[in-house]
Structures are given as structure tokens and as C-alpha cells.
Structure 1
Amino acid sequence: MTEPRKIFILYARFGEGHLQAASALRQSFVQQGEAEVKLIDLLAESHPVINEVSRFVYNKSYNVLPQVYGWVYETTKSMKPDSLFSSWLHSFGALTLRRLIERERPDAIVHTFPMLVLPLVARKLRKKIPMFNVVTDFDLHRRWVHPDVSKYYVATEDIRQQLCELGVEPHRVAASGIPIRPGFFRESIQSLSSAGSLGEFQKPNVLVMPCVNSAPTEIAAICRNLTRRCNALVTVVCGRNQMMQRYFSDTLRGVPGVTVLGYVEQIGELMANSSCIVTKPGGLTLSEALASELPIFLYRPVPGQERNNAIYLESKGAAVVCSSVQQLLGAVSELLQSPNRREEMLRAIQALRKKDASDAIALDISRQLNIMEEATSSTAMPTIRYWDESSRIRT
């Protein structure tokens, strides 16, 4: 019996999306029985102080000075992998990764965060280790791009085309979708057993997932007005932010039809029983909403990748970007009152959503590694396998 491959998945805790994508991929690899997977927060393990300072600055710039964050993001968006800045950025964690590679000898490294120190380490070790990048946004930043990447997995055909225009061979890019946890596809989910106890199936349910930089008074006003103007039930999910949960629980106490929740384990079931979602445009949350066929309303997205995510989905008809409370209420009201508007958005969502992205990526990486192993053990040219949406892989 052959030993399972060892795969490192490198992520970072700048937001939860990179870790969620990494966790979904690990689950897929384990279920397929293809690999022993280790999740590594490389910056945290190698430079814990720098990691904490970076996260603090990131959160503050993101929440307090979003325009500055957006400027930095856009200014560095076209960075080249051979630039001095890129080389410096991709040098953090080199000693730690080298020690891990020498000790555990991984067969491949997967990134759900663009901390691409592997090429530097591999050159020093004189060792070729396959590297796979799983881009976790609907917007492409050149920080993800490096000539040593074996294959890219991206959210959309548009990003795939962008990479090809940058010179990446078509067979090295797959429009796979972003890996999400299982349980986000509407046709595979049973209705919440608790939903029946509400006794109000005739009312639409609007799911609100505020982020830390949201103006709490505005979000509370949105929730109140959704129940009055749209005759809707409103479920506010605050995640692990206990301060936010306490605020909305106190502020919205006594408002009929409003439920405030903290962290929800089965968020897929909650999405499946909702009519639409008001949220921030993080790549993972948007992918989960698309998988659940939820019309998406995005309230005042911050500059950077999230605003670009929002603009992209709006351009495709799957989301509505709103800059004021009244604009948001009007857009949600239109959706809930107009079957034609809802069908229009659902068609756009169905054109974008990718089923089983995590399983498909894990399977394709395993097959890519098989091809590489066959190529090193044979003088014959390896067969190149290309991505295909109908069968996921074709020869």
C-alpha cells in the first residue's frame, strides 16, 4: 500500500476566508483518501509579532482608513513577481518553511493566501515542489501570480482569461470556483426543522451578515425597515463577534420579526431558507451565497478586493451594490415584490456558481501530481489533462 501524499496548505488569518477555503480543501483531500494534509499559518508560525502587528494594521486600515487600504491594494495590484517589492513580500517565513519541508518532505504546497515564499526556498534547497494557487476573490491581484505556479484555481472564466493574457498557459488555469464548506447547495439541503416553528412561511426571510466595519446604527435601521416596508423576517448573524451580537440584541430587542444570532455552524441551512442576503463582499461569503442561489445586496463595500468583488458581481447581475439605507431598502423591496426581478438575478447567479469546487480542486491537484510523477519516471511526454465544466477533468 502506497503512503498518502503529504500536502501543505498555506493560509493567513487576514479575515476568515483564507482559512475557510483551506479547511474545505483539507476536508476534500481527506474524503478522497488522497493525501495527508497540514494547514499552516506561515506568517503566524514564523513571525508571530509581525503577524499580530500586520493583522492589527490591516484591521485598523480596513475599518478606520478604508481609503488608504484601497489605495495600497490598487497601487500594488500590478506588481510583478521579479520586482524588489514582490521579492521582499514573498520572503517572509522562508526559514520556517524550509525547516518544515526538510522535516516533513511535502509532495505539494497549496496557497489560499498569496504568501509565495516557496520559490525562494525551493531554489535554496535545489528541490522542485509543485505549487498550486487557489485564488479566493473575484478580483485578481498580481500578488497571486508567479512563474513557478504549477496551476491556478480561480473563481470565474474572466479571471482565467486575465491570467492567460498575462502569459499563463491555458492548461495551467482552471475556473473552478472558490472552495467552500459542504452544505451550501440549495438542492442538497433540507429545510431547517426549526423554521416551521415560525409559522410564517408566507413571509420572506432576509439574511443580514454585517461586518466589523459596518455602521451599527445603519444596519439596525435597515433591519427595522425591512420588517416594516417589506413585511419580511430578518435574521442577523454576527458570527463570533460577541460585541456586535450584544449591540444588535439590545438595539433590536422587541422588534417583531427580527432574530439576532451569533456564530451559526449550519450557515448553509440558514442561507437555503433565506430569500436574499445583505452582506459584505468577501470572496468566501459571496461564493456561499451564489451556491445557495441567494440574491446578494452589498452595502457600502470598502475599497480594495471587496469593492472589486462587489463591482464584478453587480456587473454580472448577481448582486446589487448600495450606498445608502434607502437605496438598499428599495432594491430589496423590488426583489421581494417582483418575481421577474428575482428570476433575473437567479439566472445571473446560476451562470456564476460552481458546484463542488473544493472536491474538484482536490481531485485535480491529485491528478496533476500523478501526471508529474509519471513524467519523471518515463521518457514519454505526459498527457496533459484540461479542466472541463461537465466532467470536471478531461484527457
Structure 2
Amino acid sequence: MIHSYKNRSPKLLILYASYGDGHLQAARAIRDALADRGVDRTLLIDLLAEAHPFINEMTKRVYMKSYSLLPGLYGWVYDRTKPMKHDSLFASWLHSFGKDSLRRLLQAELPDAVIHTFPILAMPALKQQIGLQIPTGTVITDFDLHQRWVHPEIDRYYVPTEDMQRELILLGIPERRICISGIPIKRGFRSLTIDPALRSRYGLPAGRPVVLLMAGAQGTLPDMTELLSKLLQQQSFTVVVVCGRNEALSCLLTQMFSGFIAARQLHVLGYVEPMHELMALASCIITKPGGVTLAEALASGLPIIAYRPVPGQERNNALYLENKGAAAIAYTPEQLSHKIIELIHDSNRIRSSKTAIMKLQRKNAADVVALDFCSRLHIMEGVSATANR
């Protein structure tokens, strides 16, 4: 079954998962970039949640618990499965989740293409089973390559770096099927300006560096009270804490550090949608090293300190950026405080960090994915060859 979509806008499915916010944020960024180009029939599907809601909720909870309470176990499983082949027993089992739901979805919606921002790859086998000859793409949302993302029947890979492109080539993926796009992020990161009115809107004093402390979408960064106690001993910068959806953490910090909040040395925020605004105002960021958050920080030209990265993709993300000179890693509050002071007061260190960041910076990743994928659907005329840069 081959679709014809002349004289109409194509329909695309973007398959994501809700383990953290990163995969959904990438999916939304691609959807918005497609809409900018007139491709407005895009469906975002949380495949596991649609197919197996109980399993989805259970595995999300296990993931969060293993991440926070048993990080060593999570890292061990990640490392043990990292080299697995697509046709191994375990990989085949993982990719089977959501298969029946996806089959029904494909037959009902008849999409013209499917893009993944999470590595549940039931699509390649289904294409053969139901004879649906449509393009498929995979957008890798980390700086570390786990082979769960890799399947020889995926038509197009979108990767964050040249290093990952080389890894895929070594795994047998032809170079022509790989686009170095970067990790898709919100459109607000395309152009960032430091507006004095913006600083005033967030209540940030003029002339003081801003340290942005990201607790993660679910507010799970460890040692938050100890970290703040250590950082607030320094009066040379302002600390902004983003607690995400963790209202209990926000309330706790507001009560514990009310004096610092009154003195405007500390600002405690919940979930922030326009993160590009805060990143534009910050001098450095302390964060869990999830791929999308790191891509946002790189797009903002923001020096990164990854705090206690857990084993698995986040530690590997942090190690990759540290090796490139674009991030530092801290494992204790004392280490973290020392690295921030070093960074803020050392202009050479800041300059070196920003130079490394610029080499990895890809602000328009969502646009690159949209342009490249649309060109392969033959719906864009005169698509620039720069889509592959």
C-alpha cells in the first residue's frame, strides 16, 4: 500500500514516551516545525500509554524509583543492554510493546510517515506485515547511543553529533541515511536576547550573575536543600531554582529559605514553560544531564554543570560533554560550589567553555528534521541542501 499525497497535506505520526519530558518536548518541537511549513496533520502518540496504560504507569514508577533509589541497577541494565542487536530476544521483546495498537492506528489513520522520539521500534516489522510502504525516521534524543535506537529498517536517523553519525556507520547504517540535526528543542531557543525588562519580570537584580538550578521536570535532583545551603553562602550571585512539577519541593524550599527569598538572593519557581527566557538570563546551569535539557543549554550558550549524573544515558551524556569541554561534573555540594565560583570568576574558563559549546550548538534542530523529512516525502520544493549540515 503506497500513499499518494499530492494536492494535500501529508499526515505524520510522531511516537514518543512519557519517561521524563524530553521525548515529548522533542516531539512537540518537530510538530511545530512541521506546522511552520504547512504540514499541520501531525499526531503525537504516547504509544506505550495508549497500548498498555497499566504497564506504562508501572514501568514509569519503577524507572523513577530505580533512577533515584537504585541508580546502580539502572546503569547496570543500561550498560548490559547497550550493545544489543535489533533481532536479539530482548530487543524483539522491547520493540513488541504497542505493536497491536500501532497496527490499528496505522490502519485507521493511514499516515504518510512515522517519526520516533523514543526507541520503541515496532514500526519496521509492522511495515512488512501490513504492506504499508511509508518512510520512518528516528530522532535520537541523547548524546549517548544505545543500540535500542538502531534498526536496519529505519529509513532516516537524526543524530545530535558527528561522533554519533560515525558510531552508526560503524554499526552498518549507511551514511546517506543519517542526518546530523541536533536534538529538537522549542522554537524559543532559536534566538535568545537578554532584555533588561525580562530580568525585571523575573525579579532578578541587575549586575549579579544568575545560577540556574534545574531540579528536573519531576523535581528529582538529589541533595536540593544541602545544595542550596552551600550555594547561598556565596553572596556574589543569585540562585534561581526550577522545581518542575514537584510542588512539595517548591513548598519545602520556600519555607526553609524564606530569608534568602526576601533578600532576592534566591528565587524558587515551579514548572516553567518559557525556559529559554531563564536560560538567556543565566550565567551557568546546574542540571540532571538529560539530552533535551543539555541541548537547550547548548543552544543558550550556557556553561553546564551536571550534578551527580546517574549511571546510564545521563552519566554518558555528561561525560561526552565534559570530554568536549562543554560541561563539568560535580558529585558533592562542595565540589559543585567550587566549580561555580571558579566558573563565574574566571573569564578564561567561561570563554573556553563557550567556545566548546558553540561547536556543539544546533539551535534549529527541529527545523532541520522537518525540512529533511519533508524533502523525502517530496512535498517541499527547493529544499536547501543545508538540511544535512
TM-score (norm 1): 0.91
The reply to whether residue 364 of structure 1 matches residue 359 of structure 2 is no
- Residue 351 of structure 1 is aligned with which of 345, 351, 359? 359
CA RMSD between the two structures: 2.1
Residue of structure 2 equivalent to 1:111: 116
Letter in 2 for 1:262: G
Shift of 1:189: 2.9
Q: How many residues align?
A: 378
Percent identity over paired residues: 47
Q: Which residue of 1 aligns with 2:242?
A: 237
Amino acid at match of 1:294: L
Say yes or no: does 1:188 pair with 2:192.
Answer: yes
- Deviations along 1:357-385, one digit per CA (max 9) or x if unpaired, are 001101100001229x99xxxxxxxxxx9
Structure 1 partner of 2:12: 7
1:150-192, Cα deviation, whole Å (9 max, x unpaired): 110011111111001111111111111000001124x533526
Deviations 1:190-231 (A, max 9, x none): 52625237573221010001244433xx32333343343351
Q: 1:335 to 1:36 in 2, by over 3 A?
A: same
Q: What is the DSSP-based 3-state SS (H/G/I as helix, E as strand, rest coil) of the residue aligned with 1:183? A: helix
TM-fit CA distance, 1:95: 1.2
Q: 328, 340, 356: which one pairs with 1:332?
A: 340
1:304-362 deviation digits (Å, cap 9, x = unpaired): 10000000000001100011111111111011111101000000000101121001101
1:214 and 2:229 correspond: no
- How far, CA to CA, are the matches of 2:86 and 2:134 in structure 1? 18
Residue of structure 1 equivalent to 2:209: 204
Residue 49 of structure 1 deviates from its aligned partner by 1.1
Shift of 1:59: 1.1
Counterparts in 2 of 1:173 and 1:230: CA distance versus 1, 3 Å: farther
- Find the partner of 2:99 among 94, 113, 127: 94
For residues 65-84 of structure 1, what are the structure 2 equivalents within 5 Å? 65-84=70-89
Residue in 2 that maps onto 1:46: 51
| Contact 2:242-2:268 within 8 A present in 1 as well | yes
Contact 2:113 2:136 survives alignment (8 Å): yes
- CA gap of 1:151–1:247, structure 2 versus 1, over 3 A, is same
Cα shift at 1:30: 0.8
The secondary structure found in structure 1 opposite 2:378 is: helix
Contact 1:192-1:270 within 8 A present in 2 as well = no
After the TM superposition, which residues 19-38 of structure 1 pair with which residues of structure 2 at under 5 Å, given as runs?
19-38=24-43
Tell whether the 8 Å contact from 1:230 to 1:333 is kept in structure 2 after alignment.
Answer: no
Measured in 2, the distance between the counterparts of 1:156 and 1:172 equals 14
Contact 1:209–1:238 at 8 Å: present in 2 too? yes
TM-score, length basis structure 2: 0.93
Structure 2: tracts of 5 or more residues without a match: 1-5
User: 2:137 aligns to what SS in structure 1?
Assistant: strand
Is the 8 Å Cα contact of residues 214 and 221 (structure 2) preserved in structure 1?
Answer: no
1:90 aligned counterpart, secondary structure: helix
1:192–1:273 contact (8 Å) kept in structure 2: no
Question: Structure 1 residues 47 and 126, CA, compared in 2 at 3 Å: closer, same or farther?
Answer: same
1:193 partner SS: helix
SS of the residue corresponding to residue 115 of structure 2 reads strand
How many Å separate the matches in 1 of 2:115 and 2:360? 24
The one-letter code of the counterpart of 1:302 is V
SS of alignment partner, residue 127 of structure 2: helix
User: What residue is the counterpart of 1:380 in the other structure?
Assistant: none
Cross-structure match for 2:181: 176
SS in 1 for 2:31: helix
Following the alignment from structure 1 to structure 2, what is the Cα–Cα distance between the partners of residues 192 and 358?
Answer: 29
SS in 1 for 2:114: strand
8 Å contact from structure 1 (residues 230, 336) kept in 2: no
Find the partner of 2:324 among 307, 311, 316: 316
Runs of 4+ in 1 over 6 A off after TM superposition: none
